[in-house]
Amino acid sequence: MKVLFSVLLPPLFFEGLLAQCPAPSELVNDAGEKLCARMFEHSNMYFDQSCGGLYLDVKNGDDFPYMPSGCGNKISSLAVGNRCTLKVWSKSGKTGNNRSFNAGMVYQLKDFANGLFGNWNDSINAYYCTCT
Ligand SMILES: *[C@@H]1O[C@H](CO)[C@@H](O)[C@H](O)[C@H]1NC(C)=O
Ligand SMILES: *[C@@H]1O[C@H](CO)[C@@H](O)[C@H](O)[C@H]1NC(C)=O
């Protein structure tokens, strides 16, 4: 018997070759499709060396109450595309603290307060991204 099924592949972490942040206007994936955001594993105090390591591509409308496997508590910098907003939560299931990032670069998530004492470095555990 032949079973037909469809698998919704989660966006996987890709290996980034260059540690350089993309401009919001040039935020496209390898297929040339416009992205809502791209999240990176590493950051750097030298902004031109930020956005390194593995990265996660986020499309318009992507809604992840739970991070794709291996990506929870791993994001240290990010880029949001023009006319897009990335909303993030510190705990899975869209709980904990939340905040929104508009178009532009976040070179170091550690510079953004998460609650009274924490920051957003390695603290994203859910996200939702939309563009107008
Ligand atoms: C974001 O956090 C605020 C403050 O805790 C809360 O009132 C609000 O409901 C949260 N928003 C979402 C969409 O989770
Ligand atoms: C972000 O968190 C990771 C894991 O705790 C840590 O290794 C890294 O140094 C932190 N980055 C910054 C900029 O604080």
Closest CA to 59 of 10, 95, 15, 23: 10
Q: How far is the CA of 93 from the centre of ligand 1 (A)?
A: 12
DSSP state of 16: P
With a 6 Å cutoff on the Cβ, whether 98 touches ligand 1 is yes
Residue pair 52/42 in contact by the 8 Å Cβ criterion: yes
Q: How far is CA 118 from CA 90, 108, 123, in A?
A: 10, 14, 9
The topology under which CATH files domain 32-131 is Gamma-B Crystallin; domain 1 (2.60.20)
As a whole number of angstroms, the distance between CA 117 and CA 111 comes to 12
Report CA(95)–ligand 1 centroid distance (Å). 8
Question: What residue type is 10 in one-letter code?
Answer: P
Domain ranges of the chain: 32-131
pLDDT for 125 equals 98
Q: Which atom of ligand 1 is nearest to the CA of 98?
A: 1
What pLDDT is attached to residue 4?
A: 44
Q: Which residues pair with 42 in a beta bridge?
A: none
What pLDDT, on a 0 to 100 scale, did the predictor assign at position 20? 80
pLDDT confidence of residue 26:
87
Tell me which residue has its CA closest to atom 10 in ligand 1: 98
How do the pLDDT tens digits run along the chain, 132 residues long?
344 443 444 455 665 555 589 988 889 988 889 999 999 999 999 998 999 999 999 999 999 999 998 999 999 999 999 999 999 999 999 999 999 999 999 999 999 999 999 999 999 999 999 999
Show the CA angle centred on residue 52, arms to residues 102 and 97, nearest 5°.
40
pTM of the model: 0.87
